[in-house]
Structure 1
């Protein structure tokens, strides 16, 4: 039997990163390290895209550590990360909430070597009273090694949104303000079934919460670039698409269109390239069905959508990650 090593915890982060701002923040802001944090948060390896570090807030003298975009959210919402060595304190927690307000971040992440119980309780409380599109996380960062190996980071998630409880509250509010219409109930049921199926058959696409509308959005690893699934109940069709939005939509579309032949060869069939909208752009595949409202055929419809989204992800993911965007500092509210 081969000998086994023993895991040893490195007791203090400062033995690896001497200074929080000069050493740790630049390390965490690198794409490969943000991917580790993103997976710990449940956002998938491509869930966080760096926007800026050491962001100066209005008023002077205040700097947010790391500002990211949530590539899996429909609007590429901002994610604010505040990190510190040692145990969490009121100062950093207060900064986190103040900066989040100033930057209009919908997700905030507090990272420390230890998160105090009172700070966990405060973030849990914020998760319980805010809407579903706001998220509060806390992570404890540890470093481990085996023998003389390189140190390995581990983010232990100690605070996260309680989506189950929020879902119960949301359903209660729906009952208070009136039941959903028949059409919206059908949309919600369709996407609930689809997201459950997607989670079983696609490992690279993160399932999202079902919504009562005719489309649903998944991330593709870059802000402004999404994987959308769309259902047309009146026209009896389904569509899977790469959806480009935001200030770089036209530039991104043009960069991808320059690769059209290679993209369609990789995908296996022609795609529809639509640049007729005023701002947004889409690259899609669609299919007609006899009756998309027939729930007996939903498994087949869900399978087609999952397969097609998977093929789009396989074809576009690396290309989307390589797209050139306008390089600019974030605009402050």
Structure 2
């Protein structure tokens, strides 16, 4: 049967946002829109501030990367990328000690992409520079849709391979560490190929991989434990409010288990200033490459479940809502 297909029509950015500082930047700073941008980049972003003073200048948006708690600078343009903004970006990044720089523009000239690529080549893996072209589309009178196209980005895989190659030359990487990287690389490819709703970070040589879950001081470790023949997903809360946040989540334990569909393990570790909620899969050998596809399936399904169940609860937490038991006892005294 012949389909009556419609054509996508590009929309001028200035028809959607009249100005960058008064209209586009506040729009992008909303949680749902930062999530869209983060999805395109594979980064968990949490808004810290808008229009941040840096000397006599103002940076558009400052965020936290919730995976590693590092600073992320976002600089916006509704027109074509230019030299002036590139200079501003370097100034802001230095002044704010940003590890990640995201430059958004209508279009990028080849020389500006080359500058970003060069920055990614000459800096180590702690620093990342992204160039993002922004487009808006519409089909006839339908609602408009945003598209973020990444035109320049750090190649974490190439960086990781080159660094690991150097370590191998120096006999610093064991066969096990190489196997860990191979496992995490496979997991990332599996999640991307299956359009997972969870962003998988760059692979490492460690026995765990750290995922964000939308808020600073919370993160997830996927872990491989060959000695005990198990794999697992551990949700951590840390920082000054770790105990309060853990207790508030624990108060919802029954609802969480019902929604999750499985019983989780809860561990408060006050001496380490962090606590965790765990799900483990036993009788599973992470060194058995023939079983990796099943382990990828399990990790992907359970990571998505953790995000569905915990993310909204974590974002709604307010440490001030928790009253320690000793305070409750004092309130109860006549």
With the length of structure 2 as denominator, give the TM-score of the two structures: 0.82
Paired position in structure 1 for 2:10: 9
Paired position in structure 2 for 1:213: 206
Judged with a 3 Å threshold, the aligned counterparts in structure 2 of structure 1 residues 325 and 87 are, in CA distance, closer, same or farther, namely farther
1:157 aligns with 2:154: no
State which drifts further: 101-110 or 202-211. 202-211
Contact map agreement 1:201 1:306 (CA 8 A) in 2: no
How far apart, CA to CA, are the structure 2 residues paired with 1:194 and 1:40?
18
CA offsets per residue over residues 85-131 of structure 1, 9 Å max, x none? Answer: 32222221111112112222221111122223222111011112222
3-state DSSP of counterpart to 1:262: helix
Paired position in structure 2 for 1:274: 267
C-alpha displacement at 1:180, in angstroms?
1.2
Paired position in structure 2 for 1:227: 220
Paired position in structure 2 for 1:40: 40
C-alpha displacement at 1:222, in angstroms?
2.6
Q: Which runs of 4+ in 1 moved over 6 A?
A: none
Judged with a 3 Å threshold, the aligned counterparts in structure 2 of structure 1 residues 249 and 181 are, in CA distance, closer, same or farther, namely same
How far apart, CA to CA, are the structure 1 residues paired with 2:72 and 2:38?
11
- What is the aligned residue count? 318
Judged with a 3 Å threshold, the aligned counterparts in structure 2 of structure 1 residues 140 and 296 are, in CA distance, closer, same or farther, namely closer
How far apart, CA to CA, are the structure 2 residues paired with 1:39 and 1:111?
15
Give the number of the structure whose residues are more often helix, by fraction: 2
Paired position in structure 2 for 1:69: 64
Paired position in structure 2 for 1:24: 24
Paired position in structure 2 for 1:315: 309
With the length of structure 1 as denominator, give the TM-score of the two structures: 0.82
Which runs of structure 2 are paired with 1:55-134 in the superposition (5 Å)? 55-57=52-54, 59=55, 61-71=56-66, 73=67, 75-134=68-127
C-alpha displacement at 1:210, in angstroms?
2.4
C-alpha displacement at 1:288, in angstroms?
3.3
Paired position in structure 1 for 2:325: none
3-state DSSP of counterpart to 1:93: helix
How far apart, CA to CA, are the structure 2 residues paired with 1:246 and 1:205?
24
